[in-house]
Amino acid sequence: MISKTDHNDAIEAPSVKAKSKAQFQQPQLLSKANSQLSFHESMILGPDFFQVDALVLAPRLLGKFLRRDEVVLQITEVEAYRPNDTACHGRFGITARTAPVFGPGGHAYVYLCYGLHTMLNVVADKEGVGAAVLIRSCAPIRGLETIQQRRGQNTEKPVLLTGPGKVGQALGISTEWSNHPLFTPGGLEILDGPEPEKILIGPRVGIEYASPEHVSALWRFAVAGCPWIRKPSKTLFFREF
């Protein structure tokens, strides 16, 4: 089920595919990018979109839009976390913190990392599975002033949301947003967006504690040729779809 949400721009179903080859702009061309990536024509993605294996959902989330009020971000880098994955928070089983991970796909899972950073995940797969996709990086599309205020940046600097902590900060979310549905209008939403032309894959970041096969698993996905990706990009390489 897909529903239209944008109250101001109630246009007919957009030709999302037609825009799918839209180029991702350099930071200094942000204003131009805004006019080209017409997120406002996009529709909210329904629960079915999310209720697939995290490895399937992760690359599909690239290019999609995250919206909270006036702030709109475009997803450029993600990581998949799966059941029986020694790097997944679900490995602890259902706890107060991880309960949303085991809920039905399409909800947010937000947790605090290092006591300071709020990390946004999109819960994947069916209820009870325990899978999620971490949103690692985003391109800012709308609400630059709000983002800069939240990040304490001056307006001269480009807004680079190249890391999960920065994404959470730009959206202004806290752990209270954990378990929030992403497929209902209002609050935090995920909207359809253009598919990236090429995708990079590589190993996930910061999970050295996991078992070797999970440390080396290529479950990190990023939009190729896009500046909003956490470095080092050496660990990422092309994957043709």
Q: In terms of CB distance, is 19 or 60 closer to DNA?
A: 60
Please enumerate in sequence order all residues whose Cβ is within 8 A of that of 147, keeping only pairs 6 or more positions apart, or say none: 71, 140, 153, 159, 161, 170
Tokens of 18: 């037609």
Q: Does 95 bind DNA (CB under 7 A)?
A: yes
Binding region for DNA (CB under 7 A) out of 3-11, 30-38, 161-169, 189-197: 161-169
Q: In terms of CB distance, is 122 or 199 closer to DNA?
A: 122
State the Cα–Cα distance between residues 224 and 17, nearest whole angstrom: 18
Please enumerate in sequence order all residues whose Cβ is within 8 A of that of 5, keeping only pairs 6 or more positions apart, or say none: 43, 44, 185, 189, 191
Q: In terms of CB distance, is 45 or 133 closer to DNA?
A: 133
Q: Does 206 bind DNA (CB under 7 A)?
A: yes
Q: In terms of CB distance, is 62 or 119 closer to DNA?
A: 119
Q: Does 111 bind DNA (CB under 7 A)?
A: yes
Q: Does 230 bind DNA (CB under 7 A)?
A: yes
Tokens of 93: 């089983």
Minimal CA–CA distance to 99: which of 132, 66, 67? Answer: 132
132, 139, 191, 224: which one contacts DNA (CB under 7 A)?
132
18, 31, 114, 240: which one contacts DNA (CB under 7 A)?
114
Q: Could you give the string, one character per residue 141-160, with x where binding to DNA holds by CB under 7 A and - elsewhere?
A: ----------x---------
Residue 197 dihedral angles phi and psi, to the nearest 5°: -65, -45
Taking CB under 7 A as the criterion, which residues in 14-53 touch DNA? none
Beta pairing, strands 220-223 & 237-239: unpaired
In order, the DSSP letters of 181-229 are BSSSSSSEEEE--PPPSSEEEEPPSS-TTS-HHHHS---EEEETT-S-S
Q: Does 200 bind DNA (CB under 7 A)?
A: no
Q: Which residues sit at the interface with DNA, rule CB under 7 A?
A: 79, 81, 87-90, 92, 95-98, 101, 109, 111-117, 119, 121, 132, 134, 151, 163-166, 175, 204-207, 209, 230
